[in-house]
Chains A and B, each alone.
Chain A
Amino acid sequence: MLSPAISLAAMDHNAKNKSADVCADPSQPAQLKCAPAPSSVFDHKGRLWVAWSHAGHVYVSRSDDKGKTFHSSVVVNKVPEGISARGENRPKIAVNDAGRMYISWTMPLEKRFTGHIRFSYSDDGKNFSEPVTVNDHLEISGHRFDALGVNKKGDVYLAWLDKRDRDQAMSNKEKYQGAAVYYALSEDGGKSFKPNKKIIDHSCECCRVIIDFDKNDLPVILWRNIYGNDIRDHALVNFLSKDQPGEPVRVSYDEWRIDACPHHGPDMSIDDADNYHLTWFNNAPERHGLFYARRNQKDNSLTAAVNFGNYKAGASHPNVISDENHVWLVWKEFDGKQESIWLQHSTDQGDSWSRAEQIAVTTSAADYPLLMKDKDDIYIQWQTQSDGFRLLSVAR
């Protein structure tokens, strides 16, 4: 039983006012509790920063008391523009130890399935740089599903799903499955980006992309790939050096054959010993549901993928975080009446797991649960229509 190990503190700064009615009123000002898909991060001082969007603006909100109260929100992009914020898409936020803050988002363009990768930074969380477009292919094409990562040295990486090669192939009347994964590196803290580079052709085209960093502070990127004609399994890439990706490797073997948009991306957390903790969803007839596997630092071998969550209760959208020997998994379920988030904990690097524990419920629409770290403390971000932004504390 996991419950003794979990201290649940639903620190809901707006608990008393149910959000749904307020959020439906267009005359109301922008409010975090109404945001569809926020992201958050703790800085090295333990302050919580949340990036969210409303009516064409990305906002940043700061909390000094772990999400109980927030300072006034700050606008990132002064000129309004499209901002993708739904399910797999959301504004991203990262903060380095010097306090520089980095924000990215996808700006959808007028033509369907197109967009630009946008980026801004700030040294004080109040004044943000003029947003720039990071994709150096500026045609009206798909540059979407941005992932943002900043390492300890302050190198900024953005990775995304890119359709420039697909468009080129189509104009030559050639077939092209899915999209490509591209990335861009900034070595000057986000002031400028090096030319975009391609990691792989034929990724799935509507699932989130994930970045984390290995022990050498090099990025590791994870995404849902297309193998063969229509198998949607997952791949990751290590970097050989700062701006040189290696050969992508396949990390899931569920053989989900589907020509569709799963809208259901993977997640990854790299621990201090350089083991990669991976989680994903697949829905093949034989192998379906949520999966966890570890890629071992010692020999790059993969542990056998294990199922978790209740498939019949719609277990979905898993998230993982690791710290020393600890690994936590969180995900969503739905029983026909309420959405719930569930947690599983391992104290031996994912070799064995506690029983799944229900953490919180809502009868309203709900975002994915997202895990984050504040030094040694673990939190779950969960945005719901009924209760707005919630931060749930998870003890070891």
Chain B
Amino acid sequence: MAINKVVGSFDEAVADIADGAMLHIGGFGGPGECPSYLIAAVARRKPRGLTVTGNLGGWGVAMIAALRERLAAMLPFPDDFYDLGLLVEQGCVRKGILAFPAAPGNAEFPFELLLREGKAELELLGQGSLAERIRAARAGIAAFYTPVGVGTVAAEGKEIREFGGVPHVLEHALRADFSLIRAYKADRWGNLIYHGTGRTMNATMAGAARVTLAEVDEVVDLGELDPECVVTPGIYVERVVVRPKQPKRWDERS
């Protein structure tokens, strides 16, 4: 029996994401590097009470449509860009561990609305501690100390200890049930490469969960990925799903 981590559909890939699960959501905030089809499949399944980690609180469907129009002359948004905001809008999210939960300026993410209604909980972190806490989970490290955040809301209620006269805050690893990530190419062993700034939180989150799901543009034969250039070794990846060639709406099966 040959190893084959490629799963036939997004619906199948997310079928065991249950109520109350903790999810790392890859991407950064741009329209390219987001695991849109994995997010859409979870939104169709509609689990409740999820804890999510990621950079952005998420725009949601309506704001992405507005941005697509507004930024058309600057940055083309793909038709099939769906972000964490969709999961918030579908009522799936109970807690966010996020670095960018508040939209810029006067805009408001769906998650902010939820917070204001008292229907969600936020743990605000800088991107560095967020990324390192996720990396720590991948590496089996329970917790680490960093000076970043001491004296601010990011360190509230956390242990403080001095090293070399500088106060550090103890940050615990964030291990999720599932990591939802976007990559460029995979092979059937789950080796991954990324494209440009698409690496970002996606490569960070690979392996930081019980199950890592990678949404990719293409699966290539074993040996086609240059072993010198594999970014995420397949040992960190449990499932690979290929994006459809033609864009689909989030509520269509994929």
Q: Do A and B bind each other?
A: no
Give B residues with C-beta under 8 Å from A: none
